[in-house]
Amino acid sequence: MIESEQHVAVPEQPRRISGKHFSHCQWSCPVVEDIYYIDCVFSDIDIEGLVGRGISFERCRFSNVRIKGADLHLCTLRHCEMTNVDIRQSTVFNISFLETPCQGIQLEQCQIERWMMAGCHLEHARWNDTSISYWTAQNTPVQDVIMSGGTFQDGNWHECTLQQVFWQGTTISRQVMGSCTLKQCEYQHTACDIFIWSSCQLQEIDFRNVNLSCSGFQKSVLRDCQFAGCKMDATQFNGAQIQQCDFGQTDLSCSQFTDATISNCSFLSANLVRATLKRAKLTSCNLTQADFSHADMRFADLKTSLLQPAITHKTRLHGATLQPLDWALQTPEPLMGQLDSWYSLHRPGPKVNTESPSLSSGASRYV
């Protein structure tokens, strides 16, 4: 049986240390277990070989603290403040930051598992060759953070704002964001696997040449994002609003844009083979040499986006609104036409014209 699995008796009440000031000292190989620090100050301290179990900090302040070779399990910081904390070659398991602003956290060759931040503020952080897994952040603004190398696995973000966050040469696996806002972030030279942005806002994000296969941007708003050269097959943009984004030479095969609103975007030489753009609205988009072969563009709105310079081999355009130059591309679909004719005769309601607008063609297929 390993040490972490052994049963350890929990004391009736952990030892409490309140109102102490620890400064200008050096701790070597301390062992700290089941201690509750309250209203304490830690400043200008060097800690080496710390072994900590079940440590809690409340309303404590940390400044210019340097930790090396630590092994920490089950630590909680509540209503604390952290400034210029440097952690190197350490292992941390199950750590929670609650309403704790953090500024200048440096991580070097660390391994952290199950890190939770709620109601915090993280800024000016540098993480090098560090492995972080099972990360959870909620209602936490993050600004000016650079993660170089290392791995970031199973990251969950909810209602967070990320600005100038850069992943550089990092391996990212299974990152999910919900109701988050991202501005001026980069994922350059990263190895990515499964990204989900649901109901998020992404602005000026650089994804160029990143593998985003099977990613999701459902009901998200994307502005001025760079996707040029990305691999984005089977990516979902259903219900998304996409503005001034560059998809040049991007692999979007089998991607889904159902009910998406796309404006002033470039799809120059993009691969959209077998993509789904049902009821999508494309406004002033550049579709030159975009390959829409076997794509489903039924009932799409293309009044201001010329489709003629694109490749449209066996593209489904039934019910689509096209420019006059593109009318010749709209080949008839007998079955769909018969359904529309049948529904126009048998649809429920009055058959005489009324002031209410009539149902659009093909509405029966979506009831």
Does any domain span residue 23? yes
pLDDT in the model for residue 13: 56
pLDDT in the model for residue 191: 86
pLDDT in the model for residue 136: 97
Does any domain span residue 59? yes
List for the chain the helix, strand, coil content (%; round to 5): 5, 50, 45
The segments of the chain whose pLDDT lies below 70 read: 1-14, 29, 332-347, 349-367
DSSP run (H or E) holding 271: none
Tokens encoding 174: 């299974």
Range of the structural domain that residue 68 is part of: 11-103
Does any domain span residue 338? no
pLDDT in the model for residue 10: 36
Does any domain span residue 85? yes
pLDDT in the model for residue 342: 61
Does any domain span residue 264? no
Structural domain count, the chain: 1
Task: Estimate to the nearest angstrom the gap between the alpha carbon of 92 and the chain centroid.
Answer: 24
Task: Estimate to the nearest angstrom the gap between the alpha carbon of 158 and the chain centroid.
Answer: 9
Cα distance between residue 16 and residue 253, in whole Å? 60
CATH number at residue 97: 2.160.20.80
Does any domain span residue 72? yes
Does any domain span residue 95? yes
pLDDT in the model for residue 345: 66
Task: Estimate to the nearest angstrom the gap between the alpha carbon of 169 and the chain centroid.
Answer: 17
- Report residue 337: phi and psi, to 5°: -65, -40
CA trace torsion 166, 167, 172, 177 (10° rounding):
0
pLDDT in the model for residue 339: 56
Does any domain span residue 66? yes
DSSP 283-327: ES-B-TT-B-TT-B-TT-EETTS--TTSB-TT-B-TT-EE-GGGG
Tokens encoding 288: 């030159």
Task: Estimate to the nearest angstrom the gap between the alpha carbon of 144 and the chain centroid.
Answer: 17
pLDDT in the model for residue 63: 97
Interval 28-53: pLDDT, tens: 767 889 999 999 999 999 999 999 99
